[in-house]
Each structure stands twice: as structure tokens, then as C-alpha cells.
């Protein structure tokens, strides 16, 4: 894919939002072959269903309150908190108070573009 041959920096204020599920949507902010940054906006009650993928993921809570489960561990997360999900580790989030997560993936999520 041509788009993988050069890193791509987006004008993120004009990037489209993609619905993910009831109460959450995502916006790709930047990516290159080995990393992608995605903003995920949640309404209260929005659920990122339990899933896994080969990509390593670091998630940063920009705002809101969430319950996150990574592997066997569940914790409440607020602004400034972070979780790390290694390759193929199952993870999920539930939004307790509306807010935004920043998800970074390595390598990039080709399925998001």
C-alpha cells in the first residue's frame, strides 16, 4: 500500500469520526508503518468489548472515568492513567463518565484505514 511507504500526519481537526459501537467513536490522528495514534470518544455507558489483536497497545485516559480490564486485571482509570496491553492480550473498557481515550498501537492498525 502506497500509504505505508511514508509516515502520514493528519490534520486531526478535520479527520472523520468512525462509529465503533453504541456510545463510542474513533478518530485516527497520525500513523506510520510502526505506530498509530487514535482518539476514542466515549459517552457514559459506552463499552469497548473484550477483544485482542497482535498489536501492542498503550491507552492514556485524557478525560472521563473508565473501568479497564487487561488480561485478568481490572481497574478504575481517570485522567492521566494508562494501561499497557501486550500483543494478543485480551482487553476491554467500560465508560463510567463520558470522556476520551488515546490509543497508541504498534505496529499501525491497517484495519483502521
* Number of neighbouring beta carbons within 10 Å of residue 106: 14
Binding flags for its own copies, 4-43, as an x/- string (CB under 8 A): --xxxxx-xx---------------xxxx-xx-x-x----
Rounded CA separation 2/35 (Å): 16
Spatial CA neighbour of 60 closest among 99, 113, 112? 99
CA distance from start to end of the chain:
11
CB 93 to its own copies: min, Å:
15
Binding flags for its own copies, 55-94, as an x/- string (CB under 8 A): -x-x-x-x-------x---------xxxxx-x--------
Size, binding site for its own copies by CB under 8 A: 30
Amino acid at each position: 500500500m502506497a500509504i505505508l511507504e511514508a509516515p502520514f500526519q493528519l490534520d486531526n481537526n478535520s479527520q472523520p469520526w468512525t462509529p465503533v459501537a453504541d456510545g463510542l467513536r474513533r478518530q485516527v490522528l497520525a500513523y506510520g508503518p510502526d505506530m498509530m495514534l487514535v482518539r476514542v470518544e466515549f459517552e457514559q455507558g459506552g463499552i469497548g468489548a473484550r477483544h485482542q489483536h497482535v498489536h501492542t497497545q498503550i491507552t492514556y485516559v485524557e478525560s472521563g472515568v473508565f473501568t479497564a480490564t487487561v488480561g485478568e486485571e481490572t481497574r478504575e482509570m481517570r485522567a492521566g492513567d494508562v494501561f499497557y496491553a501486550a500483543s494478543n492480550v485480551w482487553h476491554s473498557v467500560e465508560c463510567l463518565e463520558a470522556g476520551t481515550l488515546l490509543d497508541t498501537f504498534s505496529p499501525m492498525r491497517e484495519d483502521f484505514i
